[in-house]
Amino acid sequence: MAATVQKKKLRYKNLGKSGLRVSNIALGTWVTFGAQITDEMAEEILTLAYESGINYFDTAEVYAAGKAETVLGKVLKKKAWRRSSYIVSTKIYWGGKAETEKGLSRKHIIEGLKASLERLQLEYVDVVFANKPDPHTPMEEIVRAFTHCINQGWAMYWGTSRWSPMEIMEAYSVARQFNLIPPIAEQAEYHLFQREKVELQMPELYHKIGIGTITWSPLACGILSGKYDDGVPIYSRAAMKGYGWLKEKILSEEGRRQQAKLREVALIADKLNCSLSQLAIAWCLKNENVQCVMLGASSVDQLYENIQALQYVPKLTPVLMGELDKILGNKPAVIRREPPQR
């Protein structure tokens, strides 16, 4: 019953100016699949997502050194859902230790994507993303390689992740110049403490060249869940091996300032009768320029709670949004360019 209710609240949007219809919430597999959770839990989480109407699952060749793709592929094969009813994306950049197993050379894009498809047990992914820019590879080579992958039927579309607006524009220009396929979307970090790129730059790129926006880390790697208010709990992500950078960020002076602001944000969550996590996710979903917000989950309960954020989006009135802006003090200023004086 809960899943049916959620389906009605999920919205579907075109990804950028492409025809691909994505649910406004996607399920990501970073940290969890193949590492933090069992394969059985991964299946339960994926099942809840799909039955709730989430049609988009994201992974990457680097997640758990390829195991995330393997687990996702196994679950999809076992569930036997119609391939045409869901979207899978993966990301290419870090594939292995050898010099030729990373970056965005034609060699690694093609070999990396083929290896991903093997692990996923799929004939194609819907979108393949460049997981970061590669300053060592000419843009024409990158765009030609992704175009080749699409022409071969290994992917339907390609996109970028963590690229600057200038790099995205260059890829688009190269595609237009050589009659190649341009990217359709950028995956960008977006949450209460990181706003400028998604709120200022991405809408401009959408209007100029049709690039869509998928956002990730709506809870800032768990910082916005409120669980780090009294330090770093032993079972949290920040305490995991390889996440020392997150622990440092939380315990830094800036991290303490953020926690103080979060205590004020929590008062607004109390007004709405929702959790701090739900408020943070609803805030991301409120942005009409974002087509899809990517969520991760380490349990079914966590995913279910986070999907419930959908019901609080309409409750974020302009007055409440203004209150949040005042607490955060980081609303990007729109620079109005005056026409030159004659």
Q: Give Cα 159 distance to the centre of its chain.
A: 12
Other CB atoms within a 10 A radius of the CB of residue 36 amount to 15
Instruction: For 76-99, give the DSSP string.
Output: HHHHT--GGG-EEEEEESB--SSG
Please give the structure tokens belonging to residue 188. 């960008």
The residues that bridge with 194 in the sheet, in sequence order, are 191
Other CB atoms within a 10 A radius of the CB of residue 338 amount to 5
Task: Give Cα separations from 34 to 78, 120, 311 (angstroms).
Answer: 16, 13, 31
What is the DSSP-derived secondary structure letter of residue 212? E
Whole-angstrom Cα distance, residue 3 to residue 304? 9
**Beta strands 56-58; 25-28: pairing state:** parallel
Stretch (H or E) spanning 29? none
Whole-angstrom Cα distance, residue 4 to residue 289? 26
63 is catalytic: yes
Candidates 50, 63, 206, 312; catalytic one: 63
Q: Which residues are catalytic?
A: 63
